Structures are given as structure tokens and as C-alpha cells.
Structure 1
Amino acid sequence: PVQDRYIEIQTLLFTINEINKDPDLLPNVTLGYHVYDSCGDPNLAMKSVLQILSGPGIIVPNYSCGDQREIAVFIGDRSTVTALPMAQLLGTYGHTQISYSAIDPVLNDRALYPYYFSTGPNDYIEHVAIAELVEYLGWTWVIILAAGDERGERESKNLMNELNKHGACVDLIGTLTGDINTDTRTLERIQKSTAEVVVLCGEKFRTKTYFVEKMIKEKTLVVPATWIPGYTFPLFNGSLAFKEGFVIFDNSEFEDYVMKIKEDVLLKDLLTVASSCLTHDKEKDTLLQKVYRVSYRNCSGSKLLQFFGRSYRVYTAVYGFAHAEHDMRSSSGKYCNKCIHKNINRK
């Protein structure tokens, strides 16, 4: 498990439990949950969705072989790579989906995805921020490196437009496809370019990070938030990385819950590795430093809190559904109880 994924699951469980204890929000309703790990694989994500819809056992599309408990909402996924095909499938069946991280603007198309919502930021906002950074630093020529797919093409064009608005020119747009020969040629073109700045965009590339690591030694990178902390570069060469901000919201029970989570044996080791913070166990510190070849240091509590940054979005996603459900149940005769979960986006 990865520390931020584990924290997101714990946040989901906390929020559901808090809603179930509230006698006024969803009276006479108890929320349950299924938890599936897509592992960032679209095929596995689709299989998990069909499994939930079909019920336990053999997957039978268009049939529900489980009990009569209705599925109210799907929370997730965190990546557009998996959230997008989920939205396409769930839209067919009229099920609500609320992501807390997928940020591809194409999902904002209400005609195509009427049942999809997100508590995450819009990808294009980051493009504006990158363009303003490039202008501020006086860079006039840059290279864009994107994934060789539909999203990569769409985002690279939008990023180029924003850069042009801020007085920067794009020397070339390179794409990584996962094919070693094609990607090698792309790398060679980038190496020959006189532009010293490479802007990455889109999801973290599904290819060997060798290509990016090699460029770091020769170019200055501008890394989007979708790459951090999914991949940590061994050498930055003066490069800059955007990182999602995090919100510490005023909820004393959640803060207490977070402190208890930090004492979880599994999470404690995950956080130690991710934050490079020393523990109180010298033998463990020595072992981890040898295994991961990094130097550990003493850290304050704020260093660890950064890994709870997306928790608020998970919390908001679940509560957003709960309040929508409450509002519809409170509507006098506008929706029948059996149809409530199907009409959550049509109110």
C-alpha cells in the first residue's frame, strides 16, 4: 500500500461513520461501503465497478445478483486514467460518481458525463500557473513533454496556448508512448533542442522513467502536481515542481482520528519512508536508510501532515453526496424513494 491511498481509505471510513452517527443528516439510513483498489489500471477499475454492480461471485453485466441494498454513489477514482472509463460505464447505468482527485477538464462536459462530479481542482488552472511561472522567470523558449494519448494531446495544446498568452514560445511538443524506439527518438529531439526548459503535463507517463531521469541532467524541468509525489526525481538540477495544497479543516474529531491513524503500525512505516523522517527506533532507521539510500532527519508534525492533504477532498466528496441525498429525501413528493439514488444529479 501507498501512504496517501491508505490515508484516503481511512478518511472515507471516518466520514461514513460520522454521517451514520448524525441523526439528522440521513435518518433511518445506514451507509455501508465497498473498497476496491484499481492499482491505477483502467481494466481493473472497470472490473471492480462491474463486480460491485453485479454482486459477489461471477460478474454478470446488466444483472444484480447480490442483495437488495442499493448502491448510492461511487467515490473515486483518484486518477483520470481510471476515473474516465468509470464515468463512461457508470453514466450508462445512471450511477453517481464523485472523484476527489481526477482533474481532466473533459470530465466537466455535462452532456457526456452527467453523473460525474469532482472535488479536485481543474487541470487548466495549473496550466495558467505554469505559464505565469515561465513568464515570471523570463523563459522565452520551452519544450512540452506529454503522454502520447488523447489526453496528452489535448493538454499539451491547451498548455501551449497559455504559454503563448504569457509571451513564451514552444520549441517542440514531445510525446512518450511507451515504445522504446519512438521514445528514444523523442528524447534525442529534446536533447538537440536549444530550449533549456521542459514542461511535463498530464498523468505520470506509463513508461520507464529513464527518459525523464536522463533529461534532468541536461534540462530544467517544470513538474506538474500529478507527478508529485507519485515519482520523486533523484536529481532536480534547479527544476521546479507544483504540488497540491492541502487544507486543515476545523474538525476536532477528525484531527483526533488523524493522530490515531499516525500511530497505525502499517501507516507509520509508510509515512517514515515517504517523509524521510527519523523514528524512535534506531535499528529501523538504519535499515530503511540502507534500503532506500536516503538520509533521514528529525521532522515536526507538520511534515507528516502534508500526506493528509487530499483527505479533505475525500471528506467533502462523501459529505457532498450525503447532503444531496438528504435534500432529495426532504423534497416533498418530488422523488419516489426507490428512484432517489438514480436522480441524484437531476435535482
Structure 2
Amino acid sequence: MTDPLQLPYEYSQRGDLIIGDIVAQYGCVFEETTYAENPGSMELDGLIVSPKNYQHVLSFVFAVKEINKNSKILPNISLGFQIFDGYFSARMTHQNTLKLLSSWERIVPNYNCNKTKNLIAVVGGLNSEMAFHIATALHLYKIPQIAYCVFAPVSNVKIQLPSFYRMVPNEEFQYTGIVRLLWHFQWTWVGIIATDDDQDLQTINALKWLIHINEISEGITKKFMGILWIMTAHWDFSSQTELRGFDMNIFQGALSFTIHSNQVQDFTKFLHRVCPRSQQEDGFIRVFWEQAFNCVLSNSDENKGRNDACTGEERLDSLPGIIFEMTMTGQSYSIYNAVYAIAHTLHQISSSRQKRRAMESRRWDLSNLQPWKFHPFLRIISFNNTAGDLIFFNENGEIAAGFDIINWVNLPNKTFIRVKVGRMDPQVLPGSEFTINEEAITWPNLVNQEPPRAMCNDHCHPGYSKKKKEGAPFCCYSCALCPEEKISDQKDMDDCFECPQGQYPNKNHDECISKVLNYLSFTDYLGITLASWALFLSLTTALVLGIFIKNQNTPMVRANNRDLTYLLLISLLLCFLCSLLFIGQPHKVTCNLRQPAFGIIFSVAVSCVLAKTITVVVAFTATKPGTQMRKWVGKRLANSILISCSLIQISVCAVWLCIAPPFPHFDMDTLVEEIIVECNEGSVTMFYLVLGYLGFLAIVSFTMAFLARKLPDSFNEAKFITFSMLVFCGVWLSFVPSYLSSKGKYMVAVEIFSILASSVGLLSCIFFPKCFIIILRPELNTRYQITRK
């Protein structure tokens, strides 16, 4: 496979293991082609050079040569490299990535014709687009890629590109650093200038909620003079040759967040030795040299006959800083560290495998290392580089470091000095991440070496918000007290804001206080009291049931349907216990059980009372001569009443749970300082239908008992049932208005009290007189008392 476009810019050195590099020094413009044309007909229409980026090539080469000379790292193993340019072009980046994956001479995708080329990792690219183009090819082979782009190429790198690493920190740290810088100097009005691309739009989106945006629209030489620039790490104003004739004074005193760098020993000496004659295998140096020194090399085929020929002995340190820097930049430092990270990882693999080889007595060769086996070691690599910085990756495959804050100082010869004046380092203790040295900052000339002031009045303290002054400049404002329901928790806030759900303002309107959860708890005095009564009455009911079971063969117990008596007592026991479902924080299960359990259990209890009452009426009616009611006397009638009346309530509750079941609900608005945690009934209609049916059974029972209260029988329960139903109906009639007028836990307490009171009415009116006779007046508990009347 031949290259569709041959460009000469390549720098290679063979070795046992090869590290690839895709740099971004040249930008090429291609003539547009159509699908009808042969892809091999692409032609280069123009070449844009970024000479400052040539330092990226040199830092890569310097790191490899330095490692090969170091006997402590990878002894007896030589590192080679192959460097291509991406030309800021997707097609060329893909093509040159394929060259890295192929043999030395030809591009043969997915096959290495020359086994001597053992590519172990790749460094690059400069921006997120180039990094992504490289990664799309490398991740298929699981070859590690260490990029030095400020922005990640995708949102979730470790999932979408598992073989991708970045020798730069997370970009979010610099956004936080910018805001901390603005807060430190109390700059409350800033403008943002950005290009119309995804990276700058990402920057704006990250900053616009933190700072106030002001568009700057006037000419660059008239609006921009005297402005203090704050630049992000991905923008380098000094990277183009077009800036030779540009007035750099507009950037005097600018502050820039840059990738952390440090002085690397011997790198400057290495740069002093760089010249076209010593770098003959370097395919990048010719164009760089001619563009940087604005001359033509004597052996160049281009522009022959020109008088401005290069000698080749020009010195890099004579170039202005906007063209080339003699100190290692942040990006070059990242490349340098990336090469060392690869080398240290290989050394660690080599050391561990040599130990294993010694134990297993078998041969081992590092050249057989598969790229996918490289990742577990690279993820955990940690080392101190030659500059003394600790280098390691975090869980996202990014270097665990921060950003430097640089102050740009221009010199008369169109060069500049980078002065490190601060740091945004998330690795230090909380509260110390941001540092700034004001004394080291050189401010723009027009501000008289003092920090610019972006305010014309005193601060608005927390609890107040800024209010625009009519006729005054936009940066002047007065302070207005926050409304009752809002707060401001910082100085100079544009508007007060409402507290989040679950919180409310304090008296000074400068802080939100968390609302207290309001529900009937087992730890509340009211909850403890009601729960204690429920347990006490449950034990009392159980005691009554025990008394009746112990005396089950006595006439008092056997009269009026003993089975219904037992079932009624069990129902009352469950009524007392079901009130405990209403205490405690509501959850889905308890909300689903509360009202249906209450409705069904009470329906069974009232149905038992109704069945007992009807049984008494039918029994006395059947004693009259010639009546047809005798066939209804017996347990069948009572059971039929009990089952039919209970099934209706069960059916209603089942429909309720199917169509609109109750659920936990947090009421944030009813109470100012509390959140009411309650069970939303789901369907209010079904809730009142359950109560209504229960009331209907109670009224029928009361009516039947009232009519049968004077029937002759020593053990006639009708008069007791009458009183019990009177109490029952009175409790639940008063329940509805009390329930609707209560809020929060008191609403629940009203229902629990109604449950307990109505159950106590049934228990005391029906069973306490019988217990009195069974225990204290056993002489009345005889058959004679029944037959006597």
C-alpha cells in the first residue's frame, strides 16, 4: 500500500523497542477532491508552520537519548522512536498512525512485515481532535497512547478509550483556579473571548455559571489595550510566526494557567547543540530553521537565488520567545514525562519478569511483550523524574498534578519572560489548593503596578443582593435585603436565591438551614405514649382472650356464639397492633399496609359484632310458635354475615392497592421549618370509601343492637353492643374533622387515637362485664342463670 500523500517530515531512530510520536508542527491545506477522483491525487496546497512546536520534537528526542544513556533504566535495551506530524489534519493523522503500526518502509495495515519494529506505545496528540484520531486506530490494538492535550477527546475516556492516558491534569482544575483567582482579587466583572470551536465552548460552559460574562466587541488595538488577560492552558498566544510584527504589549502582565513544568537539567545545553548539520536525520528541522530564522538553507531547493541564505550556525537562543523558547514549556514537559513513564513502566516489567525467569529457569525477552500487558503496569506507575516531580496517573488515566499560574513579562526585543506566580494543585491538603504570590506579579502598564479594580462601591454582604443604580456605570450598584423566602450566602451576589428543597432561610437570610423531618417517631414523647398504650391494650386483649379460653365451657362464654367471641377478641388484638404501623418513618411497605390493614381488621371486628347481634335477634324470634326463623338459627347465618361483610371491604382494599396504592410523600411546603414525611393515600376517594363502609357496618350494628337491647336473656350482649357501637360511631364521627384540621405527625396521632379509642370501646363495653362475672362473680356464670329467665 503506497502513501496517498508523501510528506518528508519524519524523524526516526531504530531500537529494540519503539515509541511513536505524533506531533503538531505543521498545518497543511489540501485541494478539495471528489469521490470520482483517485484518492492518490491529493496535493498539498499550502503549509502553515508553528515553529514553537518544534520543541515538542526535541523534548521527545532528548528524553529518549537521556534514557538510553542511563544504565539504571532498561540496561541492555535501547529505545528507538518514530516521529510523524499530524498536520492538524484528520486524514494525515490517521495515515501517520498507520505508519507507526506498520513496518519501517511500507504501510501495511494490520500486519507488521518487519519484526524488528516493536511499537510499544505512542505519545500524542497536541489537541483533543488529534488525540481522538490517533486513539481510534491504537485502541484496536490496545497500544497505550499518552496524550498531552488539555481537553479529553471524549466525555468518558476510561470507558470509551481504555488505552488512552493524558500527561496533563483534568481541565476542570483550571476552571476552579480561574474562579479562585477572580475571588482572590475581588474581580466581579470579566469578559470572555473564545473561538467558535468545541474546546472553547466547553470552557465557556464550565465558566459561565461562575462568572458574569461581558462581550467585548470593539477593535483589538483600541478596546484591548490595558486589559488584564487571563488565559487557559490550551491557548498559547505566542505559537505562530504571524505574531512577529504583532504588538505584544497588549499581553503585558497577562496571567495564564499552564500545564505544570519544571526545569530539566541539561535540556538547555541540548538545545544549544541543535543545528541542521547535527540533525541530518531530522526531517523537521529544515522547515523549522527557515521559518524561525526567516532565511533559506544553502542546500535547499526552494527559492534559490535569494540573498537571505541560512548559515546553519544560527543560535536558537537568539530567537524571540514568541518563536522559540529555551526553557521547556508545559507541553514539552508533558512529552518528556510521557517518555519517562513508558521507560519506567518497561523497566518495572523487566524487573518483575527477570525475577520470575530466575525462579522458573526459562528464557525471557522484553521484545515479546504484548501491548495489552503494558496497561496494568502503566496505570500504577509512580516515579520521580529528573526535575524532582512525582509522576503518576489517577484513576482516570490523567496525571495527578495541577496547573501553574504564569505571569507574562514582555521585553523590548519582542521576547518575554514566564514568571511563575502561583499554583492550582488539587493534590495538596484541602484549603491549600490555590496559591498566588501578588508581589511577584508584573501588572499591565496602565494600572500602575497595582491589581486592577473591578468595583466602584463597597461589597454587598451575605443576606443582600446587588441592585443596579439608575444612571450609574454597570459596575456600580446598591445593596437590597433578600426577600423573606430567599438568601444570599456570598458577597456581591446578583440575586438572592431560594433555598433548595428541604431547607429554609435563617433570620439573617445568609444561610439555609436543613428542615427537620416531621413524622410520628418511636422516639417522640407522643409516639412513645401511643405505642405504649397500643402494647398495653394488646396485652389486655390477649389476657381477656386467655380468660375466655380458660373458661370456654362455662355458660357465659358459650352463650352468644363462642367462636365469634374468639374472632372478635383476635380482631381487637390486631386492631391495637395495627396502630403501630402508623408510628415511625413511612416507607412503601408500611404505607401500603396502614389503611388497608386498619380497614379490613376493623371490618372483621364490626362484622363479628353485627353477626352476634343478628344471631341474638334471630334466636329470640325463632322461639315464637309457628315462625319460619328456626332454619336460620345456628352458625351458618353468623358465618355468612361475617364472610360477606368482610369480603366487601377486602375487595375495596384490593382495588385500592391495584389502581392507586398509598406511597411515601415528602411535603416540603406546608411547614416552614419541617418536612412532613407522610403516606399519600394515593386515592382519597378509596380512603373515604373504606371509612364509609366501616361506618355503614357500625351504624347497622348499632341499630340492630339498639332494637335487641331489651330481649330477655341474662347473657344478652345487645345492650353492651349498643354502648360499644355508640362509642365507636362517636369516635369516628369526630375523627374526620380532627383529621382534616391536623398536620404532620399530629394527623397520624389523631388516627391512632381513634383506632385505640374505638377498639377500647368495643373491648370494655362488651367484654369487661363478662370478665367481671367470670372472675369475681362465678356464681352467676351457671346454666341456672340462663334458664331462670
TM-score normalised per structure 1:
0.65
Correspondence 1:325 to 2:338: no
Q: Output the CA distance in 1 between the equivalents of 2:117 and 2:251.
A: 54
User: In structure 1, what is the equivalent of residue 371 of structure 2?
Assistant: 341
User: In structure 2, what is the equivalent of residue 248 of structure 1?
Assistant: 263
Q: Output the CA distance in 1 between the equivalents of 2:342 and 2:190.
A: 42
Correspondence 1:132 to 2:132: no
User: What is the Cα-based RMSD across aligned positions, in Å?
Assistant: 3.9
User: In structure 2, what is the equivalent of residue 44 of structure 1?
Assistant: 92
Q: 2:217 aligns with which of 191, 195, 201?
A: 191
Q: 1:227 aligns with which of 231, 235, 239?
A: 235
- 1:105-254 pair list within 5 angstroms: 105=152, 109-161=157-209, 164=210, 168-170=211-213, 191=217, 214-215=219-220, 217-218=222-223, 220=227, 222-228=230-236, 229-231=238-240, 232=243, 234=247, 240-242=254-256, 244=258, 246-249=261-264, 251-252=265-266, 254=267
Q: What is the CA-CA distance between 1:64 and the residue it aligns to? A: 2.8
**Residue type of the alignment partner of 2:256:** F
User: In structure 1, what is the equivalent of residue 73 of structure 2?
Assistant: 25
Q: Return closer, same or farther for 1:217/1:130 CA change in 2, 3 Å cut-off.
A: farther
Q: What is the CA-CA distance between 1:50 and the residue it aligns to? A: 1.1
| Alignment size in residue pairs | 278
Q: Secondary structure at the match of 1:261?
A: coil
Q: Output the CA distance in 1 between the equivalents of 2:326 and 2:277.
A: 15
Q: What is the CA-CA distance between 1:336 and the residue it aligns to? A: 8.3
Q: Secondary structure at the match of 2:348?
A: helix
Q: Output the CA distance in 2 between the equivalents of 1:58 and 1:258.
A: 32
Q: Secondary structure at the match of 1:305?
A: coil
Q: What is the CA-CA distance between 1:115 and the residue it aligns to? A: 1.7
- The Cα offsets for residues 64-87 of structure 1, whole Å up to 9 and x where unpaired, read as 334442101111222223112212
**Residue type of the alignment partner of 2:263:** I
User: In structure 2, what is the equivalent of residue 279 of structure 1?
Assistant: none
Q: Output the CA distance in 2 between the equivalents of 1:53 and 1:299.
A: 38
Contact 1:329 1:340 in 2 (8 A): no
Q: 1:258 aligns with which of 260, 266, 271?
A: 271
- The Cα offsets for residues 65-124 of structure 1, whole Å up to 9 and x where unpaired, read as 34442101111222223112212321222111112x311145673222222222234322
Contact 2:56 2:335 in 1 (8 A): yes
Contact 2:292 2:319 in 1 (8 A): no
Q: Return closer, same or farther for 1:94/1:124 CA change in 2, 3 Å cut-off.
A: same
User: In structure 1, what is the equivalent of residue 151 of structure 2?
Assistant: 104
Q: Return closer, same or farther for 1:13/1:106 CA change in 2, 3 Å cut-off.
A: closer
Q: Output the CA distance in 2 between the equivalents of 1:246 and 1:272.
A: 27
Q: Output the CA distance in 1 between the equivalents of 2:79 and 2:199.
A: 35
Contact 1:26 1:322 in 2 (8 A): yes
**Residue type of the alignment partner of 2:213:** V
* Gaps in structure 2 of 5+ consecutive residues: 1-48, 279-284, 295-307, 309-317, 358-363, 378-789
Q: Return closer, same or farther for 1:321/1:63 CA change in 2, 3 Å cut-off.
A: same
**Residue type of the alignment partner of 2:222:** K
Q: Secondary structure at the match of 1:35?
A: strand
Higher RCO, Cα 8 Å, sep 6+? 1
Q: Secondary structure at the match of 2:213?
A: strand
**Residue type of the alignment partner of 2:352:** S
Q: What is the CA-CA distance between 1:318 and the residue it aligns to? A: 0.8
Q: Return closer, same or farther for 1:305/1:271 CA change in 2, 3 Å cut-off.
A: farther
Q: Secondary structure at the match of 1:72?
A: strand
- 1:253-292 pair list within 5 angstroms: 254-261=267-274
Q: Output the CA distance in 1 between the equivalents of 2:179 and 2:133.
A: 30
Q: What is the CA-CA distance between 1:43 and the residue it aligns to? A: 2.5
Q: What is the CA-CA distance between 1:36 and the residue it aligns to? A: 0.6
- The Cα offsets for residues 35-81 of structure 1, whole Å up to 9 and x where unpaired, read as 11112223321211012213356644333334442101111222223
**Residue type of the alignment partner of 1:63:** Y
Q: What is the CA-CA distance between 1:330 and the residue it aligns to? A: 2.0
Q: 1:314 aligns with which of 324, 335, 349?
A: 335
Q: Return closer, same or farther for 1:308/1:149 CA change in 2, 3 Å cut-off.
A: closer
**Residue type of the alignment partner of 2:376:** R
Contact 2:63 2:339 in 1 (8 A): yes
Q: 1:85 aligns with which of 98, 120, 133?
A: 133
Considering only CA atoms, is the larger Rg found in Structure 1 or Structure 2? 2
Q: Secondary structure at the match of 1:131?
A: helix
**Residue type of the alignment partner of 1:218:** K
* Structure with greater strand share of residues: 2
* Gaps in structure 1 of 5+ consecutive residues: 173-189, 193-213, 274-286, 288-296
- The Cα offsets for residues 232-287 of structure 1, whole Å up to 9 and x where unpaired, read as 564665783516364113x34x45323323898977887678xxxxxxxxxxxxx9
User: In structure 1, what is the equivalent of residue 62 of structure 2?
Assistant: 14
User: In structure 2, what is the equivalent of residue 276 of structure 1?
Assistant: none
Q: Return closer, same or farther for 1:336/1:152 CA change in 2, 3 Å cut-off.
A: farther
Q: Return closer, same or farther for 1:53/1:268 CA change in 2, 3 Å cut-off.
A: closer
Q: Return closer, same or farther for 1:306/1:141 CA change in 2, 3 Å cut-off.
A: same
Contact 1:217 1:237 in 2 (8 A): no
Q: Return closer, same or farther for 1:258/1:309 CA change in 2, 3 Å cut-off.
A: farther
Q: What is the CA-CA distance between 1:324 and the residue it aligns to? A: 0.4
**Residue type of the alignment partner of 1:345:** H
Q: Return closer, same or farther for 1:129/1:236 CA change in 2, 3 Å cut-off.
A: farther
Q: Output the CA distance in 2 between the equivalents of 1:344 and 1:78.
A: 23
Q: Output the CA distance in 1 between the equivalents of 2:331 and 2:151.
A: 17
Q: Output the CA distance in 1 between the equivalents of 2:120 and 2:91.
A: 23
Percent identity of the aligned residues?
22
TM-score normalised per structure 2:
0.31
- The Cα offsets for residues 16-53 of structure 1, whole Å up to 9 and x where unpaired, read as 12222334422332211111111222332121101221
Q: Return closer, same or farther for 1:54/1:263 CA change in 2, 3 Å cut-off.
A: closer
Contact 2:104 2:114 in 1 (8 A): yes
Q: Return closer, same or farther for 1:92/1:222 CA change in 2, 3 Å cut-off.
A: same
**Residue type of the alignment partner of 1:15:** A
**Residue type of the alignment partner of 1:330:** S
User: In structure 2, what is the equivalent of residue 291 of structure 1?
Assistant: none
Q: Secondary structure at the match of 2:119?
A: coil
